[in-house]
Amino acid sequence: MQPSRRKSAFFPAEIIAMKQAGGGRKNYNLNVFVVVFSIFLFACFMYNEDVKSIAEFPFSRPSPLETQESNGNEVDSMVWIGSRMKPRSETTEETQETEKKIELPAVLEEEDDSDVEIPPEDCDVFNGDWVYDNVTHPLYKEDECEFLTEQVTCMRNGRRDSTYQNWRWQPRQCSLPKFKPRLLLQKLRGKRLMFVGDSLNRNQWESMICLVQSVVPPGRKSLTKNGSLSIFRIDDYNATVEFYWAPFIVESNSDDPTMHSILNRIIMPESIDKHGENWKGVDFLIFNTYIWWMNTFKIKVLRGSFDQGSTEYDEIERPIAYGRVMRTWAQWVDQNIDPNRTSVFFSSMSPLHIKSLDWNNPDGIKCAKETYPIFNMTTRLEVGTDRRVFSVAVNVTQSMKVPVYFVNITSLSELRKDAHTSVHTIRQGKLLTPEQQADPVNFADCIHWCLPGLPDTWNEFLYSHILSHS
């Protein structure tokens, strides 16, 4: 601005000449009035010019959200391109499309953990009792979790009793922390949690998805499957809950995630790297392997490799072969896992309930029509769990360099004859027919578990450990 020019414009030569001439009093009053009025006009003009200059000067950059929220009435509004502003008419279609994609960030509610009590380190959370609790359990509802598969939706598949959902595990020396899904997601923010193993770990993976997804808005969660890896994504927390199919942990001829119904199962107990490449960089790894070992007393061990087309094998006693696999797995963990980043868990054996005589029910048929856990056993409960491989798992995990949290689900799960999918499930991808459901001898599944149900408790153990070590 040039104030001297503006002043000359408002004081014409005629007014100055009048002042110099003196004139009469009447003219003098007129001259004063003209001067005052001119000064007033000059001040208004200067004020408007300065305000306009200030308004147009880019002292600070508007945020993208402020740009987006403008009403768009301007003929040529301004947008930020890189580090400077440009008229919208000068922006490319690509730039304008990028601007349209700007969304308000989700407002994430923080979970209050003031009433969450962490069990003390010396408390054995696996030593306890099943307590009926229809107030806090189930932790979610079957019909409110869209990600459950037909294999585990027992109520939807015709089961009439639901008390199996209402049992809460109560440790004798302490209590498990109150489950808060949003609190768990806060601990998983920016992290990956992966279950690795067989269909029982997949059972537990589905449970974990249902436990956390209830607090995630629609459109902010997704499930994708790619070969052996299934990934549940929680967008607002940049977190994933994953499952990787590896029923023997090491390579086997049963590694196809869909076509694995093979009676003649063969393993390569020292070959793990193909699978292991998919486990690197994960923050929480939960391993298991058991049920696929139980169809024969001896395990077939390949001579050579599948890639070389080898077909000959040796048959080895189950505990010996299991030990070879566990040592291969332990070596891989010790060599590839940074314990400062990754927490490693190993889940013990999930039991079967095949013979009702094991729990003193001579009139029962497998686990069919069982509606309550096992109580008041006068002798030690034996339901066929192979304690030899259990001991191998305990010994190997305790001898590793990388700390491994051994999740001892076996004994507490042996009490839950009521929690299996039984005849309320699928066989070869199809729901059992009424005729098949009436034939539990041949069709009852006493291996897998209904959801909501027992695997939710397994995940409560993981939840407790993650909270206490975060």
Catalytic residue positions, numbered? 199, 445, 448
Q: Are 278 and 223 in contact (CB under 8 A)?
A: no
Contacts 24+ apart (CB under 8 A), 392-395: 392/319, 392/322, 392/323, 392/326, 393/322, 393/326, 393/346, 393/348, 393/349, 394/348
Q: Which of 418, 446, 423 is nearest to 433 (CA)?
A: 423
Handedness of CA 240, 241, 243, 244 (dihedral sign): positive
Residue 373 carries which side chain, given as an amino acid letter? P
Could you give the CA distance from residue 103 to residue 228 in angstroms, rounded to a whole number? 34
**What backbone phi and psi angles, to 5 degrees, belong to 91?**
-85, 155
Tokens describing residue 185 = 């997601």
DSSP string, 20-32: HH---HHHHHHHH
The candidate with the shortest Cα–Cα distance to 394, out of 344, 339, 333, 326, is: 326
